[in-house]
Structure 1
């Protein structure tokens, strides 16, 4: 909760929180650690690969909170990806253990002031909105005691033999013009198609799926879908911003399917750092857009997978 001073100065609070979050992400990138990629599956990590969720509501966390909570799981050695507020733990019949320190997550939204509502009603125009950002504290279920067994249980990852079939079913379910062939992966904005080299071109077969979801994340941003700015040329800030969105979105989709995320374009880290240093809201916006992209892709109903023939290698 915000204290009285921060309530009196909401703009200052937002700026401070944006800077605090951005500085932490910058420090991670400068140290060679990418916040949306974690060493899941190693002996040092107890928690299974999964998207973090609220153990009371079962709702998944999104945007920047995914990065914050993944980082806390790694740093603190938690065994699960489920979280609760102090009051939620009490409401479920349990409690947070004495002396435990919570993890700060953020909530961003916009509200319509009463004056704007009245003006909109009188003019028929869209009301103006004011953004707000606040922080609150959650605790991993490892930090709680007395919780019911069905709440305290860990998220169960999908069976390994179902991961690739599910990934291929999702690719097919999107209905995207998805072409296999050529020597490089990309999304063609003019022709509205994705092209990815054949699986045999990848050292690890699962890298083909990681690449596919990165490019489909770009595809999700077309004007007819989520409407992101895809006009930037390589080297521009808008290009770096879109690559940051696609990196995170691809990681969120992969984690949701049980695929360990990896960095698809490490050569862009320098441009991401430049972007974050210039705009302390860039990472918050990118993570939010990434969650929308991931939710958009994961929202397609999956049908039984069909074989996909290799397409034309020529780019449009």
Structure 2
């Protein structure tokens, strides 16, 4: 098997992640789609139990799926040792990314005097999945539970969550879409979906767009199909719906997988290796807004600042 280009430590973290996602998209796979259900938590977790944010979510999902890891926990070598565990000999590390801020003295263009400027640089550090470690406490290897597809009361809970968000939504026709001018989401009737979960997953995607309205997160939504800005916004909605799916236990594998969308994302990512990081950061903002409006209680973030 040829060595994957994104495994090289010589390239930057952004380029490494982008190369990996491009490789998946080129064979028609969306790496942020997670088909499994039954685990107690779907987001990747730090050793302390707090969830990763931003691009780390999608990157670690991809690494787990590619390597067959089922544990949601990730940790550094030292963290593993402090928990009484040991990374097995020969195991290869993955990376997590974060932004580190620093100040630099620069000369002002207008008057020539030096002034301090705050900048951020993307950094990475090595981590291992709990499945790569021996001797960890049992809680780091949670067992999957058999869950009903539609457990009793679930539909009512989801109804209440989406109702609290307060988006102007109507059921009409056979297509799902968001209209920025009218600030309205149109959804096909529930009867046209295979299940209520899939209706909610599609609604989550459209709410991703809804979050970008000028009265909320103020993203540019006036873009034509085929433009880079349109592709970027679709990517934000895709990623934000994946995060909502992880938090609410919704399937997202059935969402639009048209070749035209994948082609537009490939064009975007090949032109800018930080585009996926930007989209993930905006998706994190969008999902945080929607989860907050819906009354969903999220765990606090950890010590390091994710690349979000």
Q: TM-score range by the shorter chain?
A: 0.7 to 0.9
1:142 partnered with 2:126:
no
1:262 partnered with 2:258:
no
Contact 1:169–1:302 at 8 Å: present in 2 too?
no
In 2, distance between residues paired with 1:263 and 1:229? 26
Q: Which residue of 2 aligns with 1:297?
A: 290
Q: CA deviation at 1:129?
A: 3.1
Q: Which residue of 2 aligns with 1:308?
A: none
Q: Which residue of 1 aligns with 2:170?
A: 179
Contact 1:181–1:196 at 8 Å: present in 2 too?
yes
1:73 partnered with 2:73:
no
Contact 2:198–2:252 at 8 Å: present in 1 too?
no
Change (3 A) 1:141 1:156: farther
**Paired residue for 2:29, among 30, 33, 40?**
33
Q: Which residue of 2 aligns with 1:24?
A: 20
- Structure number with the higher helix fraction is 1
In 2, distance between residues paired with 1:260 and 1:212? 12
Q: Which residue of 2 aligns with 1:122?
A: none
Change (3 A) 1:203 1:149: closer
Contact 1:220–1:226 at 8 Å: present in 2 too?
yes
Secondary structure at 2:36 match in 1:
coil
Q: CA deviation at 1:215?
A: 0.4
In 2, distance between residues paired with 1:199 and 1:19? 41
Secondary structure at 2:127 match in 1:
strand
Q: Which residue of 2 aligns with 1:5?
A: none
Contact 2:88–2:133 at 8 Å: present in 1 too?
yes
Which runs of 5 or more structure 2 residues have no equivalent in the other structure? 1-8, 109-115, 297-308
Alignment of 1:102-181 (within 5 A): 102-107=93-98, 109=99, 111-113=101-103, 115=105, 128-153=117-142, 160=149, 161=151, 163-181=154-172
Contact 2:178–2:184 at 8 Å: present in 1 too?
yes
Secondary structure at 1:40 match in 2:
coil
In 2, distance between residues paired with 1:198 and 1:213? 15
Secondary structure at 2:293 match in 1:
coil
Q: CA deviation at 1:74?
A: 1.6
1:52 partnered with 2:47:
no
In 1, distance between residues paired with 2:59 and 2:291? 22
Secondary structure at 1:130 match in 2:
strand
Change (3 A) 1:183 1:39: closer
Change (3 A) 1:167 1:100: same
Q: Which residue of 1 aligns with 2:229?
A: 238
Alignment of 1:213-252 (within 5 A): 213-252=204-243
Contact 1:103–1:138 at 8 Å: present in 2 too?
yes
TM-score normalised by structure 1 residue count: 0.78
Greater length-normalized contact order (CA 8 Å, ≥ 6 residues apart): 2
Q: CA deviation at 1:112?
A: 4.8
Contact 1:14–1:132 at 8 Å: present in 2 too?
no
In 2, distance between residues paired with 1:40 and 1:49? 11
Contact 2:39–2:144 at 8 Å: present in 1 too?
no
Which runs of 5 or more structure 1 residues have no equivalent in the other structure? 1-12, 120-126, 304-316
Return 294-303 or 18-27, whichever deviates more: 294-303
In 2, distance between residues paired with 1:228 and 1:14? 34
Change (3 A) 1:68 1:169: same
Aligned residues, how many? 277
Q: CA deviation at 1:131?
A: 2.4
Return 182-191 or 246-255, whichever deviates more: 182-191
Q: CA deviation at 1:115?
A: 4.3
Q: Which residue of 1 aligns with 2:184?
A: 193
In 2, distance between residues paired with 1:33 and 1:164? 30
